[in-house]
Chains A and B, each alone.
Chain A
Amino acid sequence: MSYSKPKFQEKYGNYINGAFVDPIDGEYFDNYSPVDNSLIAKFPRSKEADVKKAIEAANAAKEEWGDTSVTERSAILNKIADILEENLEHFAQIETSDNGKAIRETLNADLPLAVDHFRYFASVIRAEEGSASELNKNTLSLIIQEPLGVVAQIIPWNFPLLMMAWKVAPALAAGNCIVLKPAEQTPASATIFAEKVGHLLPKGVLNVIHGFGPEAGKPLASSPDVDKVAFTGETTTGQLIMQYASKNLHPVTMELGGKSPNVFFNSVMDHDDEFLDKCIEGAVLFALNQGEVCTCPSRLLIQEDIYEAFIEKVIARTEAIKMGDPFNPDTMMGAQASNDQHEKILSYINIGKEEGAEILTGGEAAKLDGDLGNGFYVKPTILKGHNKMRVFQEEIFGPVVSVCTFKDEAEAIEIANDTLYGLGAGVWTRDAHQLYQIPRAIKAGRVWVNCYHDYPAHAPFGGYKKSGFGRENHLMMLNHYRQSKNMLISYDKNKLGFF
């Protein structure tokens, strides 16, 4: 099977109230593929008036949608999953085209996970129950979950379709209407998603608007007519969105990235077996998705007595990463999502060098042949240094890992927690005590133990510290999209006796 950039329309509209509509002032922006910097299509450069239309449509639809039975919502979510699955290769090619990531990742990770996400939320709402408590023999407390109404969702460009699924599936399952704003770097897959599955939902339940943050994102996040804002992105915009929400007293959930430690204890090298092989791969997972993952294991912590032997294997495995045409199924790492990301990554490698970090491999842009020469590629890079360096403290969002050593468990924990963030972490060991104690001591919402970069639905995902709050990927996300209604019922015929 060969893959290539799919055919796109010349331009797309916003998806509002069940139909694609032109932006009110007729302005569009060009969306380019980072694979070769070629044009994908034009997307609406929406403004406040477009955003208002989408919010109005969602508000008009919310009562009816909120009243649908869970049976009905579950069936719709399953149908959405089926359509995504039937079009899996098409969507995978859209993602590779729009984001630049290798097709083997979109085919085997992004899409199957997105499909399963809709199925997971389709099933959990059928099994869920509210609660009834008899507070005394005449008083019953019923807790019933009700949808919030209209939720605004602002999603990132690193996994355009999967991050959409993480946000859209639980919000729909909980009975909300949605105004979704995809990132302006990757507007394609959410648009084609609306095109393919929009007919399954009543008009106005799902709305997709495109545009730039200051022009379309801001009026969406600050609107008094949405009931919640869910955001994945960086900290300054996260703060802004929380400020806007504070004016409206609206709830928010935030996923703001991290600088995740990946900790390897010396026992991993006790045997030269398949587990050691898994560990080496685990250290090299910093290159998955070109490092553009909120949980990128971008700090590699290796116990000092195995450092030399271990890093030698990690370097060899990193240098075996095959770069090339992202549409070639053999390509292991594709393009960075945009020119500015590419520039940022290179500027970080540069400050790393200035700070005294040693480049163990990579450390520069990758020049590919032909049309790919216009794309944005960076060689997978390993920097050796110490945890106070900026390359250990800031999210580079590229295929760059910063490695340091630690002496013992205490130092491993100290370095792992010496960060502003707490989204992900990895712990690798053959020691049964460390398997439990070290993950418990690391301040992060997700600690992978003897694995990394696994994102199954049913395992909650979210941050500690400046990485944000809210737990996606799990039924607990439903309650981030709902209100709890308490009905306190008296079966006592007699009055209180006060008046």
Chain B
Amino acid sequence: MTYKRVDITKQAAMLLKELKAEHGEVIFHQSGGCCDGSSPMLLPKEDFYLDDNDIYLGEVGQVSFYMSHDQFEYWKHTHLTVDVTPGRGASFSLEIPKGKRFIIRSRMLTKEEHEHFNSL
């Protein structure tokens, strides 16, 4: 059994594919803070400086998903699904010109998932 911390809906995967074709290699970084925070940001891979302060949560649609280490401490008991909704975000996320916004849907990790990811 393979477990995943992060998944993506079909609609979001289709949009992601389109954006990858336009922008090349991209990453997701989960934002925090005000306004458009608490949402995933899709950024050109070369644009965003990643280091040990970021946690790699997995891949969705062959795109790596990251989050700040300290933020992850409060999120690690939850499973995330990248979804998409019509909307007008204000940030540097690449889908915004399309009138769409990636959004995170969350659920609690199952007991098995929790043991797999968090028991080390």
Q: Which A residues contact B (CB, under 8 angstroms)?
A: 29, 32, 45, 156-158, 183-185, 212-215, 217-218, 232-240, 243, 255-258, 292, 294, 338-341, 343-344, 347-348, 350-351, 354-355, 388, 390, 393-397, 420-421, 466-467
Is the CB–CB distance between B96 and A213 below 8 Å? yes
Q: A240-B48, A256-B33 are in contact. Are A183 and B68 (CB under 8 A)?
A: no
Please, which residues of chain B bring their CB within 8 A of the CB of A258? 33-34
Q: Which B residues contact A (CB, under 8 angstroms)?
A: 29-39, 41, 43, 47-49, 68, 70-71, 74-75, 77-78, 85-94, 96-97, 99, 101, 103-108
Is the CB–CB distance between B35 and A467 below 8 Å? no
Is the CB–CB distance between A236 and B90 below 8 Å? no
Please, which residues of chain A bring their CB within 8 A of the CB of B97? 45, 212, 214-215
Tell me if A's interface is mostly helix, strand, loop or mixed.
mixed
Please, which residues of chain A bring their CB within 8 A of the CB of B101? 340
Please, which residues of chain A bring their CB within 8 A of the CB of B29? 236
Q: A184-B96, A397-B34, A421-B33 are in contact. Are A237 and B106 (CB under 8 A)?
A: no
Q: State which of B33, B88, B105 has its C-beta within 8 Å of the C-beta of A466.
A: B33
Q: Which residue of B lies closest to A420 (CB)?
A: B70
Q: State which of B35, B75, B91, B92 has its C-beta within 8 Å of the C-beta of A390.
A: B75
Please, which residues of chain B bring their CB within 8 A of the CB of A393? 74
Is the CB–CB distance between A213 and B90 below 8 Å? yes
Q: Which residue of B lies closest to A256 (CB)?
A: B33
Q: From residue A356, how far is it (CB to closest CB) to chain B in Å?
A: 9
Is the CB–CB distance between A235 and B32 below 8 Å? yes
Q: Which residue of A lies closest to B68 (CB)?
A: A235
Is the CB–CB distance between A390 and B74 below 8 Å? yes
Is the CB–CB distance between B33 and A390 below 8 Å? no
For the complex with contacts A257-B37, A397-B35, 4 further pairs of A-B residues with Cβ separation under 8 Å are A45-B97, A338-B89, A395-B34, A466-B70
Q: A343-B103, A420-B70 are in contact. Are A236 and B34 (CB under 8 A)?
A: no
19 contacts between A and B (CB under 8 A): A32-B88, A157-B35, A157-B90, A158-B34, A184-B88, A214-B96, A233-B34, A235-B32, A235-B68, A236-B29, A243-B47, A294-B35, A339-B87, A343-B103, A390-B74, A390-B75, A393-B74, A394-B74, A420-B70
Q: A236-B30, A257-B33 are in contact. Are A340 and B86 (CB under 8 A)?
A: yes
Q: From residue A102, how far is it (CB to closest CB) to chain B in Å?
A: 19
Please, which residues of chain A bring their CB within 8 A of the CB of B35? 156-158, 183, 232-234, 257, 292, 294, 397
Please, which residues of chain A bring their CB within 8 A of the CB of B32? 234-236, 257, 394-395, 420-421, 466
Q: Which residue of A lies closest to B23 (CB)?
A: A214
Is the CB–CB distance between A236 and B31 below 8 Å? yes
Q: State which of A157, A240, A294, A397 has its C-beta within 8 Å of the C-beta of B47.
A: A240
Is the CB–CB distance between B90 and A395 below 8 Å? no
Q: What is the bound-complex CA distance between A341 and B89, given in angstroms?
A: 8
Is the CB–CB distance between B71 and A420 below 8 Å? yes
Is the CB–CB distance between B96 and A212 below 8 Å? yes
Q: State which of A32, A184, A257, A355 has its C-beta within 8 Å of the C-beta of B34.
A: A257
Is the CB–CB distance between B91 and A237 below 8 Å? yes
Most buried by B among A217, A343, A396, A466: A343
Q: What is the bound-complex CA distance between A320 and B106, given in angstroms?
A: 31
Is the CB–CB distance between B33 and A234 below 8 Å? yes
Is the CB–CB distance between A395 and B37 below 8 Å? yes
Is the CB–CB distance between B74 and A213 below 8 Å? no
Q: What is the bound-complex CA distance between A257 and B104, given in angstroms?
A: 19
Q: From residue B18, how far is it (CB to closest CB) to chain A in Å?
A: 14
Q: What is the bound-complex CA distance between A174 and B85, given in angstroms?
A: 42
Is the CB–CB distance between B94 and A344 below 8 Å? no
Q: State which of B30, B77, B90 has its C-beta within 8 Å of the C-beta of A184.
A: B90
Q: A218-B92, A343-B85, A390-B75 are in contact. Are A232 and B34 (CB under 8 A)?
A: yes
Q: State which of A236, A343, A421 has its C-beta within 8 Å of the C-beta of B91.
A: A236
Q: What is the bound-complex CA distance between A420 and B91, given in angstroms?
A: 20
9 nearest A-B pairs in the assembled complex, by CB-CB distance: A257-B34, A340-B87, A234-B37, A236-B31, A257-B33, A183-B90, A340-B101, A393-B74, A351-B106
Is the CB–CB distance between B38 and A394 below 8 Å? yes
Q: What is the bound-complex CA distance between A236 and B40, given in angstroms?
A: 9
Is the CB–CB distance between A239 and B71 below 8 Å? no
Please, which residues of chain A bring their CB within 8 A of the CB of B107? 351, 354
Q: What is the bound-complex CA distance between A183 and B47, given in angstroms?
A: 21
Is the CB–CB distance between B36 and A233 below 8 Å? yes
Most buried by A among B91, B93, B107: B91
Please, which residues of chain A bring their CB within 8 A of the CB of B71? 420
Q: What is the bound-complex CA distance between A395 and B74, given in angstroms?
A: 12
Is the CB–CB distance between B85 and A390 below 8 Å? no
Please, which residues of chain B bring their CB within 8 A of the CB of A292? 35
Please, which residues of chain B bring their CB within 8 A of the CB of A397? 34-35, 37-38
Q: What is the bound-complex CA distance between A340 and B88, given in angstroms?
A: 7
Q: From residue A291, how far is it (CB to closest CB) to chain B in Å?
A: 11
Please, which residues of chain B bring their CB within 8 A of the CB of A467? 33
Q: What is the bound-complex CA distance between A339 and B41, given in angstroms?
A: 17
Q: What is the bound-complex CA distance between A239 and B41, given in angstroms?
A: 12
Please, which residues of chain B bring their CB within 8 A of the CB of A157? 35, 90
